[in-house]
Amino acid sequence: MWAYGDTVLYRYGRRAEARFVRLGRVIADDQDGLVLWIAPGSPQVESLLADGTTVRSLPLDQRAAAVRERRHTTWRGPGIVQYTPVVGDWSVWWFFTPDGEFAGWYGNLESPRVRWAAGVDATDRALDVWITPDRVARWKDEDEFAAMTGTPGRWTVEQVPAIRAAGEHLIALAAAGASPFDGRWTDYRPDPAWEPVEMPDHWDRPHLATP
């Protein structure tokens, strides 16, 4: 378990390579899971097209195989609270407005995590769920999920029902106002004592999670 305020990497990747890397401060790490604060302006690593745009600028059928380059960038939005349960193929991200008002939950469907000394590794599954502050849910990126299913290094057709079930589970939890959609962290403010974080050199060690 990490301690309050520790700096932890959260790495999405596949085929042993980290493709999207965030750096957060530990809010809590216990039997309920890991809670991180991703501060505005935090260093990150993104995989972008050669011209610096994201893969989303391409038509759906070209995204899976597009050649990407990893670049050091910074998180440009307001801060995020990211909660990862001990068990469950998802994480939930609390989004805020620039004024610090709670803006909604982003349910990110992802592989089981692999924890290592300085970080957490997962493989993203493209499909997401967006849940408004009044707990109205909608699916996000179903088209990209379908287009990428079965492509090299990603989830298989056989995994699709379980991945969708994880999203349905989140939608049901939200509708019931159950944890983690019970109001926790919606008014979160980061510790004013926390200094800005710097990307450590070990961000690029071999990525451990499988799709």
DSSP H stretches of helix in 86-181: 142-148, 160-176
Tell me if 208 sits within 8 A of 114, measured CB to CB.
yes
Least distance CB 99 / Mg ion (angstroms): 26
| Given 42, 108, 123, 149, the residue binding Mg ion (CB under 5 A) | 108
Should residue 46 be labelled a site residue for Mg ion when binding is judged by CB under 5 A? no
Least distance CB 19 / Mg ion (angstroms): 12
DSSP per-residue codes, 156-203: -GGGHHHHHHHHHHHHHHHHHT-TTSSSTTTT----TTPPPP---GGG
- Where does this chain touch Mg ion (CB under 5 A) — which range of 19-27, 51-59, 103-111, 130-138? 103-111
Q: Which is nearer to Mg ion, 139 or 188 (CB)?
A: 139
Q: Which is nearer to Mg ion, 102 or 106 (CB)?
A: 106
The half-sphere exposure of 68 on its side-chain side, counting CA atoms within 13 A, is: 24
Should residue 149 be labelled a site residue for Mg ion when binding is judged by CB under 5 A? no
- Residue type present at position 159: Q
Q: Distance (Å, rounded) from C-alpha 178 to C-alpha 170?
A: 9
Task: Specify the 3-state DSSP secondary structure of 146.
Answer: helix
- Where does this chain touch Mg ion (CB under 5 A) — which range of 117-125, 131-139, 150-158, 170-178? 117-125
Should residue 123 be labelled a site residue for Mg ion when binding is judged by CB under 5 A? no
Should residue 111 be labelled a site residue for Mg ion when binding is judged by CB under 5 A? no
| Given 13, 46, 128, 167, the residue binding Mg ion (CB under 5 A) | 128
**Residue 198, C-beta contacts closer than 8 angstroms, at least 6 positions apart:** 43
- Where does this chain touch Mg ion (CB under 5 A) — which range of 37-45, 94-102, 107-115, 168-176? 107-115
- Where does this chain touch Mg ion (CB under 5 A) — which range of 123-131, 154-162, 167-175, 198-206? 123-131
Local structure of residue 144 (DSSP, 8 states): H
- Where does this chain touch Mg ion (CB under 5 A) — which range of 42-50, 116-124, 153-161, 190-198? 116-124
Should residue 82 be labelled a site residue for Mg ion when binding is judged by CB under 5 A? no
| Geometric angle at alpha carbon 6, from 4 and 12, rounded to 5° | 120
Least distance CB 140 / Mg ion (angstroms): 8
**Residue 176, C-beta contacts closer than 8 angstroms, at least 6 positions apart:** none
Q: Using CB under 5 A, list all residues that contact Mg ion.
A: 108, 124, 128
